[in-house]
Amino acid sequence: MRGITVSLLCLLMHLLQEETTTILVSESQDLQESIKPRQVEFRSLNFHNTLSWLPGRAGETRDTLYFVQYKVYGQRTWQNKEDCWGIQKHFCDLTNETSNIQEPYYGRVKAASAGVHSDWNLSCRFTPWQETMIGPPSVNVVRRKKSIILKLQAPRSPYKRKTGSSIPMTNYYDLLYQVFIINNLLDEKHSTLVYEGADKVITIEDLRPGVSYCIRAKTYVPLLSRSSAYSRRHCTVLL
């Protein structure tokens, strides 16, 4: 009788252990899925290429760490981004790793929390030349009696010439400039396009003395049918 009791006790202990193991595995799998990073994507401005993501659906905790890898499309081996290995930020600068602007790249991110690692979450394919956003030009305004002279400069890439100077985006694209003018009788919704072209020095003539004019500009890439955001406004009152 005692032998039967011991056997039953052993069986119950075994079943309890199996159930506990099943629960722990299930909880671990749930945690893995809940901390998996979301919306992994590349963001790029003038070839400053950053991989970004959102925390998993479980939200952020103090001990959540992220790990980033990247590769060129077609390669089998993923590369660790050492500066983004075990970080708490939600972005990683991959500008140097994606410097061949015609190549397509992938990035991926995983999270770790409470000793549990999530699966990797993969970005869409990213080709810098096709997808980077071009910034607006810098604008220098020189006023005259009845005219304004504008000096425009293309945005700069993060890449350097041998001399150490930054390479302008005009080295990679045929850029046009779009110049808009607003006078003090109108609001910004009624800005007027007064110039579109590749000239870096532009004169806007036949303006009225004593009137405040505001200038802002965009860059435009005809091949990609893509415009930049507006530059900041430059306002002046003609003499």
Q: What span, in angstroms and rounded, lies between the C-alpha atoms of 204 and 191?
A: 14
Residue-averaged pLDDT of the chain: 88
Sequence-ordered list of residues with C-beta below 8 angstroms from that of 119, at least 6 positions apart, any chain: 32, 33, 36, 110
DSSP code, position 97 = G
In this predicted structure, what is the pLDDT of residue 186?
Answer: 59
Q: What span, in angstroms and rounded, lies between the C-alpha atoms of 47 and 39?
A: 20
Q: What span, in angstroms and rounded, lies between the C-alpha atoms of 180 and 186?
A: 13
What's the pTM value of the predicted model, to 2 decimals? 0.81
Please list, residue by residue across 108-135, b when 16 or more beta carbons sit within 10 angstroms of its beta carbon and e when fewer do: bbbbbbeeeebebbebeebbbeebbbbb
- Residue 63 pLDDT > 80, yes or no? yes
Q: Cβ of 154: how many Cβ atoms within 10 Å?
A: 22
User: What's the average model confidence in pLDDT over 193-210?
Assistant: 92
Q: 119 versus 61: which is more confidently predicted?
A: 119
User: What's the average model confidence in pLDDT over 46-62?
Assistant: 90
In this predicted structure, what is the pLDDT of residue 25?
Answer: 45
Judging by DSSP bridges, how do beta strands 65-72 and 48-54 pair with one another? Answer: unpaired
- Residue 204: its H or E element: strand 201-204
Contact 166, 193 (CB under 8 A): no
- Residue 5 pLDDT > 90, yes or no? no
Domains in the chain with CATH codes: 33-130 (2.60.40.10), 134-237 (2.60.40.10)
For residue 37, the one-letter residue type is P
- % helix, strand, coil for the chain, step of 5: 20, 45, 35
Q: What span, in angstroms and rounded, lies between the C-alpha atoms of 92 and 69?
A: 10
User: What's the average model confidence in pLDDT over 200-209?
Assistant: 91
Place of tokens 């005009």: 170
Cα R_g (the chain), whole angstroms: 29
**Chain segment 167-193, per-residue pLDDT in tens:** 999 999 999 999 999 876 656 567 889
Q: Return the minimum-mean-pLDDT range out of 70-84, 102-116, 148-162, 173-187.
A: 173-187
Q: How confident is the model at residue 141 (pLDDT cuts 50, 70, 90)?
A: very high
Q: How confident is the model at residue 24 (pLDDT cuts 50, 70, 90)?
A: very low
**Chain segment 94-104, per-residue pLDDT in tens:** 999 999 999 99
Q: 127 versus 13: which is more confidently predicted?
A: 127
- Residue 6 pLDDT > 60, yes or no? no
Cα 88 to chain centroid distance, Å, stands at: 17
Which CA distances in Å does 236 have to 140, 144, 148, 172? Answer: 11, 10, 9, 33
